[in-house]
Structure 1
């Protein structure tokens, strides 16, 4: 499964610019025959903009999602992205997986809300992180702070996920997450983890970049620096690793 991970500056309310960026990524996906594009957390309408979350959040059948579904279908490439989701009077920090046919593969509402802003604006999700088929394998979703809790990744692996895709918005000062914890989650569960962060600043909040893709053996497959970057990675599946090693990793961790 070939992934394009986009480390980009935050949207900061520029919805048209966000769609232009996705169009560019889908053009690249056609050229390199990618299976899925991964974007950061709350790409629509921006992360550190609680004013815009309340003003602009949309339901899953709203114009943002409909346009993204049409774009994915036209490109023949799946998309995983974060957005502010409105459900009645409630707002959720949501990750969507849209298939190459434009269908909605999965929705995940962030469980582990981080910091005062998120907790003031969003409700935590009630459902387990999803596992779904994408690019010939089983994939799970988490969002940012979720990956720091070992049980979420372990639960996805226990339900058969081979890969976890993680839209994130990790600030400067928390680089231990992409430098250490992402690799720990990967090797604990013998699972590939792709972690897509922002760079630059938004409304006074600086992001650390460092987006990373880590294989099931804990090795870094690709890593971004602190500027805008695109990582194009052929993600290995479980069949690409010695089965005795993966089996030992999973059994040893789950026995603790």
Structure 2
């Protein structure tokens, strides 16, 4: 079993130090509650709505921001996933880092950029399967809009992912509410996996966020959820064995390979 914490976070645009401090406090609180993993939102380190400042704040994966995230992970004995702006050569990617103490960080780059705002700031990566191991489970990573394309989730599930972690910046509004209320649970059910969808809280200079972070199980149920856009630290215990009947009864992945 793995205990996960999801930080529905009020990021401060352009203030990496303040955002890292908020993640550090959440890591301490999550570790004290027995969590193995803390997940923070998309672009949690810079703030999603920081605009052109994101370009100035972008760092390579071996830069000071991820180094500090590793220090927080090491000090609190907890793995962390958090979104950041990654500078890679001449490109800036909307990325998420997985850090776990002294282990080499894993980095996933968003493949499906949403809207003119993101396309003006970032370079889209080719779809890829970023997989890591933690507490005996295989974790995959996507970012926000990526999860809305079923092919991305199915690719990770076929690669053996048992949990998909999705840092997001879901805006408030009818479509955002539909995605949170329906799509995330469907993605979990149709792939017989857990999906953790972790959003921003409140609003920033450019966007108002839906909140509504949630963790869905293989049977399509919610095992943890925020009902609003307030800042919140959410916990869920991930136990694959508890959903064995659902996994056996809905063998989509097994039957897909027979086609």
Interval containing the TM-score (normalised by the shorter chain)? over 0.9
**Matching residue of 1:234:** 237
Is the CA contact 1:187–1:218 (under 8 Å) kept in the aligned structure 2? yes
Where do residues 159-238 of structure 1 align in structure 2 (5 Å cutoff)?
159-173=159-173, 174-224=176-226, 225-237=228-240
Distance in structure 2 (CA, Å) of the matches to 1:170 and 1:254: 33
Query: Which moves more between the two structures, 68-77 or 15-24?
Result: 15-24
Shift of 1:157: 0.5
**Matching residue of 2:28:** 27
**Matching residue of 1:60:** 61
Is the CA contact 1:191–1:238 (under 8 Å) kept in the aligned structure 2? no
Distance 1:234 1:87, change over 3 A: same
Distance in structure 2 (CA, Å) of the matches to 1:216 and 1:37: 20
Distance in structure 2 (CA, Å) of the matches to 1:238 and 1:105: 29
Is the CA contact 2:39–2:81 (under 8 Å) kept in the aligned structure 1? yes
Give structure 1 regions of 4+ aligned residues with deviation exceeding 6 angstroms.
Answer: 253-256
Where do residues 40-59 of structure 1 align in structure 2 (5 Å cutoff)?
40-59=41-60
Shift of 1:250: 3.0
TM-score, normalised to structure 2, is: 0.93
Structure 1 runs not aligned, ≥5 long:
none
The CA RMSD over aligned residues, in Å, is 1.7
Distance 1:226 1:254, change over 3 A: farther
Where do residues 98-109 of structure 1 align in structure 2 (5 Å cutoff)?
98-99=99-100, 101-109=101-109
Shift of 1:50: 2.1
TM-score, normalised to structure 1, is: 0.94
Aligned residues: 254
